[in-house]
Every structure is written in C-alpha cells, then in structure tokens.
Amino acid sequence: MPKKITTTLTARGYELDSYNHINNAVYLNYFEHARWEFFRQLGLYDILKQQDNLPVVTDIHIRYQREIKLFDELEVQSFCVQEKPYLIFQQKITNLTTGMTSARATTKLIFIDKDKIARDVPVEILTGI
C-alpha cells in the first residue's frame, strides 16, 4: 500500500487575489511543496541529490473544489504510485478551518539525470514509496 504523507500550511496574505481568496495558481505551489516534503519525509530527497536525479512534472490536473481564505489552516495529503515511465502523485488539500476539501491534483513526474536525459524511476525511490 502506498505511503501517505501529510503537509500542513497556512494561507498567507500575499497569496490573495482580487477576490480576496487564494489565487488559483498558488495551489500549484501548495502541491509542489507537498511533493518535495513527501520525498524529504521519506528520506528520499538525499537519495535524489546523491544520484543527480531530478523529478520533473510533465502533466498536472487540478480539480478546484472550494476557495481558501486568508489564514485558513490547510493539510495536503500526498501519495504516489508508479505507472511506467511515470511516478503519479495523487494529492488533496483539505481546509482544516472549514473541514472541506479545497482541491485535488494528479501529477505525472518523470526523472532526468544530470544530463537532462529521461530515465526510469530510481529503484531506491520505488522502494521508499
């Protein structure tokens, strides 16, 4: 069973748009931050650095469900599975202030080496997830 990692965030003032809620583009940042936290919390970030492997987003689909307002406390749940040649992240932002789901995302990653050549998902990453 895939490991789930939870990341918590607080909506900040500079993320607001003219409608006084969090701009839709900021959700990309929340999901990105949670993916890096996923690797870090599982001890996989150091492996990526040592091997000169970088995950690169090739596709992302976000389903916006409810707005996020200033100072809302958020939780991003993340897990991933392999679908060769991709690592597929499934993520969900829950607004802890309202108790409602704010957004869901499916993100496809490939891995590239230091020469920017695509390669298979490293075995160490697959073992760790």
Give, for all 129 residues of the chain, the pLDDT tens digit: 789 999 999 999 999 999 999 999 999 999 999 999 999 999 999 888 888 889 999 999 999 999 999 999 999 999 999 999 999 999 999 999 999 999 999 999 999 988 999 999 988 899 899
> Token pair of 29, please?
């940042």
How far is the CA of 111 from the CAs of 40, 80, 85, 86, in angstroms? 16, 14, 9, 8
In CATH, 5-128 is 3.10.129.10: yes
The pairing of beta strand 54-64 with beta strand 86-95:
unpaired
Could you report how far apart the first and last alpha carbons of the chain are, in Å?
9
Domain boundaries, the chain: 5-128
Sign of the alpha-carbon dihedral angle for 82, 54, 60, 31:
positive
Residue 57 has what pLDDT? 97
Tokens 């596709």 correspond to what residue?
59
